[in-house]
Structure 1
Amino acid sequence: METRRKRNNDSVFKQTLDTTPVKKLKKMSDKIDQMKEVIIENETKCLDLAFAMDCTGSMQSYINEARNNICKIVEEIVASENIDVRLALVEYRDHPPEDTSFVTRCHDFTKSSKTMKGWLSTCSATGGGDTPEAVADALHDLLKLSWREDSTKICVCISDAPPHGLGCTSDGFPEGCPNGIDPVVVSNQLAAEGITLYVAGCEPAIIPYKDFFMAIAHITGGQYVPMRKAQVLSKVIVCGAQEELSLNDLMAEVDAEVRARMQAGEEINDHAVSGFLHNKWTERGQQAVQLQMDNAELNSVQDSPEAKKYSQMKTLAEIKKVFKEKPGRYASFGSHACGRGASLFCKPVSGSTGFGAGGDYSTGTCFGAACSSTFGSVATGVTFAQSSRLVQKAIAKNKK
């Protein structure tokens, strides 16, 4: 009905174009523009928000946080705008014999946060076997969900371990997913469908693989979000959704720019197009919501040459040839060579200067600046990194 009203007004405007005096024509034009703005403001935005949740041994605190706050998360998102929200969940563990319970369990979209809470209530963190998990299978299951065509599509992947086949020294399937699923290929498929991946990286365990996860998030136009404690998960989800809903308002403009260049036979240089759009939006004072950590924009592939390089590769096998575990004090502790098996809530022993060797990781308490990051969102000028992510999305969709 709203759309029909808009078309009728446009039709009346065109029919009287040749017979209406200029001043009256101007008034009619202004009135139509005002009506269009009201229609746009009253339109209900659609958000499809899926979670890919690692359900292996070290993840219980994150499952609990999502379960206990899912209703509040939806309420906060809806409170900011007129939004129709649906939720979905993909649980994942590992392939047998590393884990014999399940590889993935998929729950398609629901409008009920209580239903989502029920799914999370049946989740438990156990098992996992070797260091990598069935990340590729979980990402692939996202493609099977009933995403709405006109929705802002977001998946939050909550993980502390790499996929099989990346080159980890403790990998029961060193050649990759036993089902032949390539997480890099799947990430490009998600991008083509307009599904944005946010990786909530549970640090410190995931730090050696941070560049890989940052790369696959960028492929979809998403972000890697570092988390040291489960209590920040809700804020990350709400603020990340607000940013994507805000950026989605610019997507038609970016699509048009990329499509026009492709139709003109131009070889798309994502950096050049991002710079062009960023300058354009800066000049007109365009603003967008931004998810921030400690009052600053998150790091992106613009800050990591390795992640940028991985994001331009087409397969996991290509990345494996050049992949380097990110160095850091967290790269090898606990029961696994690649950093699994330790608590994500780290408290150093008395006299320790940080969370490195000699720390007591048995506690569930988090102390010190390393664990005190805060998240929030702010309306600010569109940044180059945001422009780059939008261009990445447009390229993926228009190559489809």
Structure 2
Amino acid sequence: MAAALHVEKPEQPELAKHDSSILDLAFAMDCTGSMGSYIDSATQNIRSIVEEIVTSEKSDIHLALVEYRDHPPQEHTFVTRVHDFTSKVKEMKGWLEQCDAQGGGDAPEAVADALHDVLKLSWRPEATKICILISDAPPHGLDPSCDGFPEGDPSGVDPIKTVRDMAEKQITLYCVGVEPPIVPYRDFFMTLAYLTGGQYVPMVNAKLLAQVIIGGVREEISLERLMKDAEEDINQEMKKAEAEGVGEEEITARVNSLLLKKNLRVKQMDNIGGITSSVAKDSYSKCANMSELRSQYKIESLPEPVYPSRMTRAAARRAAARSDSKDEEEAEGGFSPPRAAPVTEMNYGLKEDEAVSMAQTERIVQRMRYKK
């Protein structure tokens, strides 16, 4: 603080007076024992993340954090801890610094409670709203074989219904899945992201978390601007296609053709490993609730080695932690994390000026359905 002026240094770089974006960015973070490297990465990089977004996108950012663990008797510290939106990066960093990675009982965690708390945050109506869920475990009620609450979250919260409510509120969900432990439940998290027009992002290296956050947020801001500029044309094209009774793929193709003809440009984050599966789009996303989805859900099996049910998560988590350091991974020897893409293949690079892809158009169509 300057003694003469008594003015505090601003938390964010000065915003441009033109083309400013209002951004509410919330994090829902698993704070159980295996997530230490991801919490540390977020803590160390939160200021540079905000500065990069503000500088690049001229954004007015508010930040929020929902920490989650599990319900008793699996976990006795807390189910969720909610930190509502703040404009101060220092405050957000303080929340992350007190977020210790510990505990966790059965494999599932309180994912449903965290999403429900995210929904209830003080989102600004005019803001671009993004939630980044960082998880390495499923919610309760998906895989009864390793679940202390096999019928669903003991609070009664249904994550499928909650995510649909998020979509109604124009909250875009990015599911960052820590692989390999999340692999059997990848299609579930793809479904959550798909319902809001967001993305599933596979991750095996916590050091890349900041790149994912920056790239994902900047891509979403560019899509929001596109939808604002072309909203009337997109709506007309969608209504015309629906009146003709065409399917989802044809609707997406027609909207994509429209956007290409208008030569609208967007940003694109490299996320090849996160392409939404057909079963997530065509089957699971049509389920009305968690019970219906559970009855249809097929656990994606891991290739050899396959761990015993209670050890699956712990063993796979140790493998994921080793992948943060090539030297450490080589020192361990004899085990390769199943199904997770090599770290060298995941750089999540952001392309600044691209034609709208079919995958992006699919997300745009999904979100336009909820716009009033």
Which TM-score band applies after superposition, normalised by the shorter structure? 0.7 to 0.9
The CA deviation at 1:324 is: 1.1
Q: Counterpart of 2:177 in structure 1: which amino acid?
A: G
Alignment of 1:81 onto 2:57: yes
In the other structure, the counterpart of 2:252 is 274
Flag the 1:254–1:327 CA change in 2: closer, same or farther, 3 A: farther
CA distance in 2 between counterparts of 1:55 and 1:47 reads 25
State the structure with more CA Rg.
1
Q: Deviations over 1:344-396 (max 9, x none)?
A: 22336777473359xxxxxxxxxx97232212100211001101101101113
Query: Which of 343, 348, 368 is equivalent to 1:371?
Result: 343
Match of 1:181 among 140, 143, 157: 157
| Structure 1 match to 2:204 | 228
Kindly report which structure 2 residues correspond to 1:1-400, keeping only aligned pairs within 5 A, or say none: 42-252=18-228, 255-257=231-233, 259-260=235-236, 266=243, 269-293=247-271, 297-301=272-276, 304-308=277-281, 309-329=283-303, 332-333=306-307, 336-340=310-314, 342-343=317-318, 344-346=320-322, 347=329, 352=334, 354-355=336-337, 370-372=342-344, 373-378=346-351, 379-398=353-372
Query: How far has the Cα of 1:340 moved from its partner?
Result: 3.6
The alignment's C-alpha RMSD in Å is 2.5
User: How far did residue 246 of structure 1 move?
Assistant: 0.3
**Partners of 2:332 and 2:78 in 1: CA distance:** 41
Gaps of 5+ in 1: 1-39, 358-367
TM-score normalized by structure 2?
Answer: 0.86
Q: Which residue of 1 aligns with 2:12?
A: none
Name whichever of 331-340 and 231-240 sits farther off.
Answer: 331-340
Q: In the TM superposition, what whole-angstrom CA distance separates every residue of 1:23-51 from its partner, at most 9, and x where no partner exists?
A: xxxxxxxxxxxxxxxxx981311110000
Q: Secondary structure in 2 aligned to 1:396?
A: coil
- Aligned-residue offset at 1:274: 1.6
Aligned residues: 344
- Corresponding letter in the other structure for 2:120: K
Ranges in structure 2 where 5+ consecutive residues have no aligned partner? 1-15, 323-328
How much has 1:253 moved relative to structure 2? 5.4
Change (3 A) 1:74 1:380: same
Question: What is the CA–CA distance in structure 1 between the aligned matches of 2:161 and 2:230, rounded to whole Å?
Answer: 24
SS at 1:217 equivalent: helix
Cα 1:127–1:262 change in 2 (3 A) is same
Distance 1:311 1:157, change over 3 A: same
Q: Is the 8 A contact 1:286 1:382 kept in 2?
A: yes
Question: Per the alignment, do residues 221 and 262 of structure 1 end up closer, same or farther by CA in structure 2, a change over 3 Å counting?
Answer: same
The share of aligned pairs that are identical, in percent, is 44
- List per-residue Cα deviations over 1:276-304 (Å, max 9, x = no partner): 110112223221101114xxx45322xx2
Return the TM-score normalized by structure 1: 0.80
